[in-house]
Amino acid sequence: MSKPILFTGAGVALITPMHPDGRINFEKYRELIDYQIENGTDAIISIGTTGEAPTLEDNEHLEALRVAIEHTNGRVPVIAGTGSNNTEHSVYMSKEAKAMGADGLLSVTPYYNKTSQQGLIAHYSRIAGAVDLPIILYNVPSRTGVNIQPKTVAELYKIPNIVALKQASGNLSETAQIAALCDITLYSGNDDQIVPILSLGGKGVISVLSNVLPQETHDMCEAWFNGDWKRSLDLQLEWLELANALFMDVNPISVKEAMNQMGFDVGECRLPLAPMSADAKQKMADVLRRYSLV
């Protein structure tokens, strides 16, 4: 079946900048959106895991989505993170994002309470039936304790507005099985696997790396789609050490530290995500220095 593709290339899983007192820094948020768009980012993903969704109150979450949608102003698609482990809360947040003008939704699997594969089908069916926006499933079992199995993805793809999968399982064998079972649009959820997932027919990445290297991450994808597979692979390998460094601590601790060292002044994460240790900060500085980013 033919379904819309929300974007092709590198979508940034945008961080949420904070003031020293922990409030969202909306002025900085707008600056980051401009920086991303001016440097080749193909989509803005607002308030997902990297945006610290778990520690935002609903009013903050929705205000950040509103700012992202209004400030982006149609320059690239804005995909709203609206998933949770409460199906009805996910429905509520999805409806609010739709009313604001989001182009699509990113919906993570339920976490902590977890669920069965049948429960995943019921959960996503309820959300998709409540909101007529394109939905990207988000599979990240290392955080949620739940893996969307390939046959479940294929079943969910039968729902008209479930159009894509952000695959952050790290399991390329399962990703290949998904590609064999259905035509769902695949996005890498891991920056160290952008090219491998592109080689399986993927359309791009929802990227943490793009926060610091929007142009380079875009270029990695663009080179692939232009048929310059060697350049795409070269970029994957060139930036691999940095991509890995951005996960030396729990995301988004490391990427915020990197951005602060690079002069973006995005603040710290909210507790329970604590700042990196002095040794880890030095390791990050060493990596950034090797890439001439500081």
CATH of the domain at 38: 3.20.20.70
pLDDT (mean) for 248-261: 98
Q: Which domain holds residue 192?
A: 9-226
279 in a domain, yes or no?
Answer: no
Under the banding of pLDDT at 50, 70 and 90, the label for residue 1 is low
The DSSP code for 135 is E
Residues 142 and 49 sit within 8 Å (Cβ to Cβ): no
pLDDT > 70? residue 163 = yes
Under the banding of pLDDT at 50, 70 and 90, the label for residue 64 is very high
The DSSP code for 10 is E
pLDDT for 2 equals: 80
Q: How many residues does the chain have?
A: 294
pLDDT for 107 equals: 98
The one catalytic residue in 28, 157, 166, 256 is 166
243 in a domain, yes or no?
Answer: no
Q: Rounded to whole angstroms, how far apart are CA atoms 85 and 123? A: 9
Which residues fall within 8 angstroms of residue 183, CB to CB, at 6 or more apart? 1, 3, 157
| E strands present in the chain | 9-13, 43-46, 78-81, 104-108, 135-139, 162-167, 185-188, 204-207
Structure tokens of 18? 């904070």
The one catalytic residue in 124, 138, 157, 187 is 138
Q: Rounded to whole angstroms, how far apart are CA atoms 257 and 19? A: 14
257 in a domain, yes or no?
Answer: no
pLDDT (mean) for 33-55: 98
Phi, psi of 46 (to 5 degrees): -105, 125
DSSP per residue over 58-125, as a string?
A: HHHHHHHHHHHHHHHTTSS-EEEE---SSHHHHHHHHHHHHHHT-SEEEEEPP-SS---HHHHHHHHH
Under the banding of pLDDT at 50, 70 and 90, the label for residue 12 is very high
92-121 pLDDT, tens digit per residue, is: 999 999 999 999 999 999 999 999 999 999
pLDDT > 80? residue 14 = yes
148 in a domain, yes or no?
Answer: yes
Under the banding of pLDDT at 50, 70 and 90, the label for residue 235 is very high
- pTM here is 0.96
Could you confirm whether 166 is annotated as catalytic? yes
Among the listed residues 65, 9, 72, 2, the one whose alpha carbon sits nearest the alpha carbon of residue 220:
9
Please state the domain count of the chain: 1
234 in a domain, yes or no?
Answer: no
186-234 pLDDT, tens digit per residue, is: 999 999 999 999 999 999 999 999 999 999 999 999 999 999 999 999 9
Under the banding of pLDDT at 50, 70 and 90, the label for residue 39 is very high
pLDDT > 70? residue 87 = yes
Give me the percent of the chain exceeding a pLDDT of 90. Answer: 99
Could you confirm whether 281 is annotated as catalytic? no
User: How many Cα atoms are found within 13 Å in the side-chain-facing hemisphere of 139?
Assistant: 24
121 in a domain, yes or no?
Answer: yes
150 in a domain, yes or no?
Answer: yes
Least confident of 2-6, 56-60, 101-105: 2-6
pLDDT for 149 equals: 98
Q: Rounded to whole angstroms, how far apart are CA atoms 113 and 134? A: 25
Q: Rounded to whole angstroms, how far apart are CA atoms 280 and 83? A: 31
pLDDT (mean) for 138-142: 97
- Nearest-10 crossing angle of helices 58-72, 26-38: 40
246 in a domain, yes or no?
Answer: no
Which residues on neighbouring strands pair with residue 164, listed in sequence order?
136, 185
